[in-house]
Structures are given as structure tokens and as C-alpha cells.
Structure 1
Amino acid sequence: MQDTNYNNSYDGEFDFYQLFQVIAHGKRIIISFTIIAAVLAVIYSLSLPNIYQSKALLVPVEPQEGVSSALESYSGLASLAGVSLPSQNSGSNSKRALEKLISLSFFENNILPSISLHELMAVKSWDVNLNKLVIDDDLYDEKNNSWVRDFSYPQKLIPSAQESYEVFQKKHFIIDEDKKTGFISLSIKHQSPYIAHKWAELIINQINAFYRKKDKDEAEKAVIFLNSEMIKTNFTEIKQAIATLLQKETQKLTLIAVNESYVFEYIDPPSVMEKKSEPRRAFICILGTIFGLMLGIITVITNNYIFQEKNKLT
């Protein structure tokens, strides 16, 4: 039993030693693979354009005291008098705004009209010395301001809202909510730090403006409705209730008019960044070198195994 265990242990040591010998014998192949992979990784990393990230830290604006509580208080009394008071959604717009920000409709109606499409879909890099975008001539002709790209269905010559939306969401737009603090991080990535900054500000301004207009329109309609109901009813209690609602709606309109940060307020506004966020060229080079090393080792071991099998057959 001791001899058997010794032989098994010796065989294991011999196999490991033999494997080491095989690797050492094929070191030239391994070194060649490693050098080639490292050079290719360097070339690839240098071919990637710098990407700059402009980031804003936001906090949801607390909802102002609206008319919803007053409506609940007077709805029963109003129904007895035959008056149908308008219903209003309670709560903050911030939760709905987070979903609106990633929607196709918001991108198509509020973002796309305010940006240059070729700056989204046809940029190769950014010239830091000239502060100018380098446009891919195979996609967009700057001289004639026309698209020249090759395309196939369902694409079109001029990128559609849906196609550009997918590119925007995958490559440029990042939004994240901290569930504990409620803070919202909104980032834009782009080859130009100036465009990244401009787009980040644009998105925040547009989402605030969207809900300001939405709530303003609803409040104005509510004022018109309440004035009409005031004329219809003869009950003093109902008139008092409607007067209270009108006062609250007027206050709401005043707050909408003066408050630009209607849904989200800046904690830290976006900036024009001086340093790139990606690519991580050193990491790419290290990863490529390791890949070449592993590929070289596998190639040497595989060739040795195939050579041994051929010798057994002969």
C-alpha cells in the first residue's frame, strides 16, 4: 500500500514536472504570442477615442401642498350638491419623471429636437486642440450637411428617432437612483466634454420644463372648471369650498411660475470635465498581454499532446 501511494505521488509530481518542461521548451512560442497580443492590445487601445463623462447629482423637489387634500375634504359635500370636483394626482412628479427620462417619447419630443443628430450618430473623436468633433465621412458629409451612410432595413438614410434613441441609451445616457438617500445621479458620456455637459444640462432642464408645463396646464384648467362650478351652485358651503380650492390653485400657479427646479434640484451640477473617463488603456493592454500569455501556453500544451498522440499511433 505504501509503495502504491508513493508511486501515485511520484507520478503526479512527474506529470507536473513534465508539464513545466513542456512550457519551458515552448517558451519562444509563448513569448511570441504574448508580444503579438500585447502589441495588438496597444494598437486597439490607442484607436479608441477618449470618452468624457459629465455627471450631475440631483435631489427630487418635495411636492408643494396642492389641492388634493382639500378636494378629499370637500368631495363628499360637493357630491351632495351635485357638483363634480376635479380629481388630481397626489404625490411627487419625481418618480414619474425617472421613468419619463428613459422613455422614447421624451427623447423624441424633448431631446432630439435640441441636439444635432450627427453629433450623436456620426462622431469618430474630438480634436482637443481645435475643440472640434471629427465626423465619420462614411456616415455624414459635413460640407453638404447630408447623410451618406450605407443602411439596410429597418434603418433609413437619416437615422430614425428609434435608432438614435437606442444609441443614446446604450452609449451616452446613464441614470441611477440611490434608494437609501433618494439622490439621483445623471450622466452623459460623449467624445466631447462640452457636448456631454450641454446634453446633461439639456435633459435636466427639459424634464423640469415638461412637468412645469404639465402641472401649469392642469392648474389653469382647474381654475376654469372651479369658476364655472362657482356659478352653478347656490350652496354657501360649496361656494366656500370652491373658493378655497381656487386660492390653492392660484398659489400653485404662482409656485410653478417662479420655480425653475420643478422636479429635480441640483446638489452638484454637471461640469465640463478635463480628464477622460474611458477607455482604460492600461487595463486593456494588461488584459491583452495576459490573454496572449494564456493562449501561448495552451497552444504549446496542445501541440505537445497532439505530438505525443501521433507518436503512440506510430
Structure 2
Amino acid sequence: MNEVNPPTPPPYPQYPYPPEEDELSLIDLWNIVWKRKWPWLTFGPLFAVLGIFYALKQPEIYRGEATLVPNSEEQGGGGLAALAGQFGGLASMAGINIGGGGSTETAIATLRSRHFLMPFIESEAAQKAIFADEWDEESKSWTVSKERRQEDNRPTKLETYERFTKECLNVSEDKKTGIVTLAVELQDPELAAAWTNQLADHLNAHLREQAKLEAEKNLEYLNKQITETRVLEIKESLYGLIESQTKNAMLANAKEDYAFKVIDPAVTPEERVRPKRALIVVASGMLGGFFGLFLCFVLHFVQTAKRQESKA
């Protein structure tokens, strides 16, 4: 029996492969950089030298830092909290606040407020410390002139407040522990520490005075309501409210650390927080080096394009 060979399949069509694109290896990249080394060898040291001049020109800033903890009694704990739960509805109807001066967030907001800070920093001596880079001690004059400033170029109160809160004052709260860090950054290290401690003391005094005035106002209102009402149940509730406000007034009069306890007061710092001169110089040199490398590759691709055009 004759074997029949299967038919030979047609050959697969051969498609030409696209030409491989030129790829640059690490050696090629190194050759490009080394062949045109003058940009990064020039701009790297040049930027580093400029960074040295810039870093030396920057003023030295020192940081006075204090650690505070909220006063738990002031935050409305203990018996005041129980009274708030018992008579809170009646107190809210009467427009009375049971408890102390408020939460930690309220105290920090008060510390940052214009009402609290402006009397502290409105003096000319305070402005000279905040705007130390604009005050010339030799000529005893302000060197920067702006439209909204006074006739002698002295900063306005609002401008002083904005500069102080944005560049000098730093307040942060640890949500887990409740610890508050208060810091003031100035060119004078002794003044930075002194202002930090003074702000903590003034904040306690300010909130304590507010609590005293509020408690006295509430007691006056409650005593008036007791004389006018004849319902026994309401009188009993009012007596409870009077007790809570009396405790508030006693607490405000007795405690100097009304809102915060200072567990670590600020001391005169010995090391500056800025400028980081070494970091500025290194970053400037690296920036100049990267700029030089960028020029190397730009020159390489320009010359390659011209070579290809001439061949074509």
C-alpha cells in the first residue's frame, strides 16, 4: 500500500522586523556626561558658592519652647460635669455656661486671636523684635517702606500680628496625650524664652478673668430669677446652677494655672533652629549639579539632531 505524504504546509509569511531603536546604556550615559562635563562641573560649585553667601546672610533664629498640659479641673470635670448633666437643659435655656473656660481648642484659639495678642505685641520694642530684619539700630529707623505703614515706616498693629502669628508663634497639640507645645521664634534667644513664658502666664490670667466675669454675670442673673419665681422645682434647679457658678468663681480666683499647667517652662536656647546653613549649601550644590546634567543631555540631543540632519 503506497503511503501518501501529507501536503507540505505553505511557509509562514516573513514580515520584516522594525529596526531596533537606539538605546542608551549606563556606559553611554556616562560618556555623554563626561564628554560634556563643563556644565555640571561649573554650575555645581557655582550654586554651592551662592548658597554659602545666601546662608551666611540669613539671620539666626532661636526658639523658646514650653510644654503645657490642660488643667483637668478647668475643663469641667468632676462635680461640675455632674451638675452640667443635671441642669444642662435649664442652663442652656437661661443662656448660662456650666463649667470652666472651655476646651483646649478654645484656649489655643484664644491664644492666636487678635484680641489677646495685639496688646502683647503692639509696643515699639515688640515690633523691633518681630521685624528685626527691617530695623536699623544705627540710624534708629525702619528700612522698609510700604503703603499701609505709618509715616515713619513703622509696621501697623495688624501687620505685626500677621508677622508674629505666621513666622514667630507656634502652637501645637498632641491629640493622644493632650500636651500642648508653645514656642516663640525670634533673633534674640533670651527674648524668645521670656515671651514664651509670658504668653502662657497671660493666657491663664486672661481666661481666668473671663471665667470670673462670666460667673459673676451668671450669679447675678440666677439670683434675680430666684426672687422672681415661685415654683419650688425651678428654685431647686436654680440653686444647683448657683452652686456650679460659685464653684467656677472660686476656681478662677484660686488657681493661677487656670487653663494650662506649665510642666516645662522655656529656657534660653543655645542653638539656633534656622538657618540650616550646611543643608542650604548642600542643596544649592546639588541643584546646580542637576542643572548642569540637564544641560549636558540638552547639548547631546541637539548635536545628535544636527548630525542626523547633515547625514540626511
Secondary structure of 1:220's aligned partner: helix
1:207 and 2:207 correspond: no
Distance 1:310 1:24, change over 3 A: same
Identify which of 210, 220, 224 aligns with 2:216: 220
Rounded to whole Å, the distance in 2 between the matches of 1:231 and 1:53 is 56
Identify which of 97, 106, 111 aligns with 1:88: 97
- How many equivalent residue pairs? 289
Q: CA RMSD in A?
A: 3.4
Distance 1:285 1:75, change over 3 A: closer
Identify which of 12, 18, 23 aligns with 1:12: 23
1:99-178 counterparts in 2 under 5 A?
Answer: 99-112=109-122, 116-121=126-131, 123-124=132-133, 136-137=135-136, 147=142, 149-152=144-147, 154-156=148-150, 157-178=153-174
Amino acid at match of 2:300: N
Sequence identity percentage: 27
> What's the offset of the Cα at 1:272?
0.9
Secondary structure of 2:178's aligned partner: coil
Distance 1:293 1:231, change over 3 A: same
Rounded to whole Å, the distance in 2 between the matches of 1:142 and 1:90 is 53
The higher radius of gyration belongs to 2
Deviations 1:100-159 (A, max 9, x none): 2222332224543596212112x13xxxxxxxxxx632xxx6765x5453113x454332
1:183 and 2:194 correspond: no
1:275-286 counterparts in 2 under 5 A?
Answer: 275-286=271-282
1:19-30 counterparts in 2 under 5 A?
Answer: 19-30=29-40
User: Please, which runs of 5 or more residues in structure 1 have no aligned partner?
Assistant: 79-83, 125-134
1:290 and 2:286 correspond: yes
TM-score of the aligned structures, taking structure 1 as reference length: 0.77
Rounded to whole Å, the distance in 2 between the matches of 1:19 and 1:237 is 90
> What's the offset of the Cα at 1:262?
0.7
Distance 1:71 1:231, change over 3 A: farther
TM-score of the aligned structures, taking structure 2 as reference length: 0.78
Q: Residue in 2 aligned with 1:264?
A: 260
Q: Name whichever of 91-100 and 234-243 sits farther off.
A: 234-243
